[in-house]
């Protein structure tokens, strides 16, 4: 009887392990899909005209810059 319980536990453990892995993988791929699904607004650096995501740009004097360095140098 003990062997049967052990076998069921082993099957449950394996099943739980694979189910957990299968559950994890679609979450990873959906995270990858969500990035292009919500494209970030691109802004142009006023100094070098480089396109940078708005969240990564530096704002100075109402203009967008790609870096603190270019914000300091100002518009070219
Ligand atoms: Zn720049």
The verdict on 34 and 44 lying in the same domain is no
16 CA to centre of ligand 1 in angstroms = 51
The verdict on 21 and 53 lying in the same domain is no
Name the residue among 61, 60, 64 with its Cα closest to residue 46. Answer: 64
3-class secondary-structure state, position 17: helix
68 CA to centre of ligand 1 in angstroms = 9
How many structural domains comprise the chain? 2
The verdict on 59 and 72 lying in the same domain is yes
The verdict on 2 and 29 lying in the same domain is yes
Q: Are 57 and 64 in contact (CB under 8 A)?
A: yes
Query: What range does the domain containing 34 cover?
Result: 1-38
Question: Per-residue pLDDT tens for 2-56?
Answer: 899 999 999 999 999 888 887 666 556 555 555 555 678 999 999 999 999 999 9
Q: How confident is the model at residue 58 (pLDDT cuts 50, 70, 90)?
A: very high
3-class secondary-structure state, position 22: helix
Residue 45, classified by CB atoms within 10 Å of its CB into exposed (0-12), middle (13-18) or buried (19+), is buried
The verdict on 34 and 59 lying in the same domain is no
The verdict on 49 and 30 lying in the same domain is no
């Amino acid at each position: 009887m003990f062997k049967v319980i052990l076998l069921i536990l082993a099957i449950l453990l394996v099943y739980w392990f694979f189910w957990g892995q299968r559950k994890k993988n679609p979450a990873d791929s959906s995270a990858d899909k969500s990035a292009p699904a919500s494209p970030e607004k691109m802004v142009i650096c006023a100094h070098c005209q480089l396109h940078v995501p708005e969240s990564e740009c530096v704002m100075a004097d109402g203009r967008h810059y790609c870096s603190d360095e270019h914000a300091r140098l100002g518009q070219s």
